[in-house]
Chain A
Amino acid sequence: MRNALGVFSVVALLASAVTLIGTDSATAQGGGTIEAEVKYNGPPVVETLKINKDTQQCGTDAKIEKVAVGANKGLANTVVSVPTAKGQAPAKKTVIDQKGCAFVPHVVVMTPGQIDIKNSDGILHNIHTYSSANPSINKAQPKFKKVMTEKFEKPEVVKVTCDVHSWMLGWIAIVPTPYHGVTDANGTTKIENVPAGKHTVEVWHETLGKQTKEVEVKPGQTAKVSFEVKKK
Chain B
Amino acid sequence: MRTAPAIALGVLVALGLPPAAVGQQGDAAAGKGVYERKCALCHGDQGDGQGPGAERLVPRPRDFTSGLFKVRTSANQTPSDRDLFDVITNGMPGTSMPGWSTLPEKDRWSLVAYVKTFAPERFKEPAKKLELPKEVGSSADSIERGREMFEAIECNKCHGTEGRGDGPSRPELKDEWGFPIAPANLTRRWTFRGGKSRTDIATRLAAGVLGTPMPAFLDSVEKPEDIWHLTNYIVSLGPEEPRTVSLVTVGAVSDDIPVDPDAELWKTQRPQDIVLAGQVIIEPRNFNLAIDLVTLRAVHNGRDIAFHLTWDDPTESKAEPDKKVFADVIALQFPPGSAPGEARPYFLMGDANDPVYLLRWEQGKGAAEVTAHGPDTLTPIAGSEVAAKAVYSHGQYRLVLKRALVAKDTARASFAPGVFTPVAFQAWDGGAGEAGAKMSLTTWYPLTLEEPRSNRRFVVPPLVAVLTFAAMVLIIRSANRRHHL
Contact = CB atoms under 8 A, between A and B. Distances in A.
Interface stretch (A106-114, A159-167, A180-188): A159-167
A138 B210 contact: yes
A141 B221 CA distance: 9
A163 B173 contact: yes
Given A124-B153, A130-B176, A142-B154, A163 B169 contact: yes
Interface in B332-347: none
B222 interface: yes
B478 to A, nearest CB: 87
A140 B226 CA distance: 14
B152 A53 contact: no
| B68, B157, B176, B216 pick with most chain A CB within 10 angstroms | B157
Contacts, number: 67
B217 A140 contact: yes
A128 B222 CA distance: 20
Interface in B155-172: 157-158, 168-169, 172
A148 B220 CA distance: 9
Contacts of A136: 68, 77
B5 to A, nearest CB: 33
A103 B201 CA distance: 31
A45 to B, nearest CB: 20
B213 A163 contact: yes
Interface string B180-224: 000000000000000000000000000010100111110111100
A148 B218 CA distance: 13
A145 B215 CA distance: 14
Interface residues of A, number: 23
Interface residues on B, range: 20 to 34
Interface string A155-173: 0000000011110000000
Given A126-B213, A140-B153, A166 B172 contact: yes
A164 B214 contact: no
Contact of A138 (B152, B157, B216, B222): B216
Interface in A154-211: 163-166
A28 interface: no
B216 A124 contact: no
A166 B226 CA distance: 27
Contacts of B82: none
A165 B76 CA distance: 25
B220 A139 contact: yes
Interface string A116-133: 000000011011101000
B213 A128 contact: yes
Contact of B154 (A124, A130, A138): A124
Contacts of A163: 158, 169, 172-174, 213, 215
| A53, A145, A164 pick with most chain B CB within 10 angstroms | A164
A52 interface: yes
A230 B213 CA distance: 34
Contact of A139 (B77, B169, B173, B208): B208
In the A-B complex, list the 8 residue pairs whose CB atoms are closest, starting with the nearest.
A163-B213, A124-B154, A166-B172, A126-B215, A140-B215, A142-B153, A53-B168, A140-B220
Interface of B: 68, 76-77, 152-154, 157-158, 168-169, 172-174, 176, 208, 210, 213-217, 219-222
14 contacts: A53-B157, A124-B157, A135-B77, A138-B213, A138-B214, A140-B215, A140-B216, A141-B220, A143-B152, A143-B154, A144-B152, A148-B219, A163-B158, A165-B172
Interface of A: 52-53, 123-124, 126-128, 130, 135-136, 138-145, 148, 163-166
